[in-house]
Amino acid sequence: MTLHDRYLAVPVEGAVVRCHYVWLRDNCWCTECRVSQTQERKLCTASIRADIAPESVALDDDGTLRVAWNDDHVSAYTAAWLRTHDYSDQARADRRLEPVLWDATFSVPTFEHDEVLGSPQAQIAYLEAVRDYGVALVRNTPSVLGEVERFAQEIGHVRETAFERIHNVRHDPSGYSVAHTPAELIPHTDLPGYHWPPSIQLLHFLVNEATGGDSTVTDGWSVLADLRAEDPAAFENLCRVPVPFQVFSDDEDTFATVPIVELDTDGRVRTFRFSNHLVQPLDTHFDDVEAFYAAYRKLGLMIASDRYKVVFKTSSGDLLTVHGHRVMHGRLAFDPTSGARHLQDVYMEYDDLMARRRVLLGTHKPMPAAPGVA
């Protein structure tokens, strides 16, 4: 073990883990620093000395690191905890789950309704498909009004929006959305008029007997990855220039001015919204207008191409799940006189689905750092 000015390097299971002193002190798991009943933090980070450092360190035979600090406190950290929380660039990269990008050759992962709700293993597989691909199809969902809400409540929580909790999608000459017409719906994401649009959408096909109306899904993150590689300047303009989006009805309204693409702190795409029918007049710097439109046109042509869009026929009882910040959905035009077509959809949050997965796996509780702590 090697001690440096502000961090130490400790051998852990054949590797060397570097830990800053302030980070180690902040993560002490003793009963003075944590609430035993809830595992919540008791130590106030701001109270840690600016010059916090060890007065002595030791490694037990089982790899547990013990530190006596210069604030008269003693902490212990198991080897398993140090390995799990190694924050080196390589360790963080190894832990990072990369999305599986796809194009028009992709087959949507398909599951059975009763298995997803009746088997933890099947439900985990369904949730991991949503995580990895951003889309999943559940067959043989009961064609009962409100069933989509019941399904949602089995795997998470319904997100309320300004509009209906359960949205009925069918031909309606007085409807407030293009979805209520029989026209084609080009690939799009829903409710871009929110600064944080719903990140999960469930679409339940109660009855789908009309001619036409094939469903489409398109991996927006895959399109963006190719655009970023082919034209970095266009990608940067889509990340930078804010676009006004509005969704409204007779008595409700949502409005947000945000870039089409938002990145996380590592520069990866976090949020993507594409709803051409809901874009309002651009309100940005004069010098950005033409550059934005050039980038937006290129993006739109890529989305409209046959390179990315998966087209498939859904049946009555199908329930489609899409990641609303990644996967665009749409449909071909249909003939409303040829047969019944009625969908119900609800919104959820991706975080809740991933929380459900962790609970099913039993990995949702934090790993104690100190030995002997349950």
What tens digit of pLDDT does each residue of 21-46 get?
999 999 999 999 999 888 899 999 99
- Residue 280 inside a domain? The answer is yes
User: Is 275 in the same domain as 144?
Assistant: yes
Would residue 254 count as lying in a domain?
yes
90-116 burial, b if ≥16 CB within 10 A, otherwise e? eeeeeeeeebebbbeebebbebebebb
Distances in whole angstroms, Cα of residue 194 to Cα of each of 27, 162, 249, 325: 36, 10, 14, 12
173 pLDDT higher than 90:
no
Same domain, 130 and 261: yes
The residue out of 60, 95, 130 marking a domain boundary is 95
Express each pLDDT in 313-370 by its tens digit.
999 999 999 999 999 999 999 999 999 999 999 999 999 999 999 999 998 888 787 7
How many domains in the chain? 2
Q: Say whether both 55 and 117 belong to one domain.
A: no
308 part of a folded domain: yes
Within 8 A by CB and 6+ apart from 280, the residues are 244, 245, 246, 255
Q: Are residues 140 and 36 part of one domain?
A: no
Same domain, 193 and 72: no
Last residue of a domain, one of 49, 70, 95: 95
Q: Is 122 exposed, middle or buried (0-12, 13-18, 19+ CB in 10 A)?
A: middle
Task: Give percent of the chain with pLDDT exceeding 90.
Answer: 88
Whether 88 has a pLDDT exceeding 80, the answer reads yes
What is the average pLDDT across 123-132? 98
pLDDT tens digits for range 260-312:
999 999 999 999 999 999 999 999 999 999 999 999 999 999 999 999 999 99
| Domain boundary residue, one of 95, 118, 138 | 95
**pLDDT > 60? residue 203:** yes
Residues 142 and 265 placed together within one structural domain of the fold:
yes
Q: Is the same domain home to 71 and 190?
A: no
Looking up residue 29, the CATH number of its domain turns out to be 3.30.2020.30
Residue 68 structural domain? 2-95
Question: Which CATH number belongs to the domain containing residue 226 in this structure?
Answer: 3.60.130.10
pLDDT at 172 over 90: no
Q: Are 128 and 59 contained in the same domain?
A: no
pTM value > 0.85: yes
Residue 372 inside a domain? The answer is no
> Is 219 in the same domain as 334?
yes
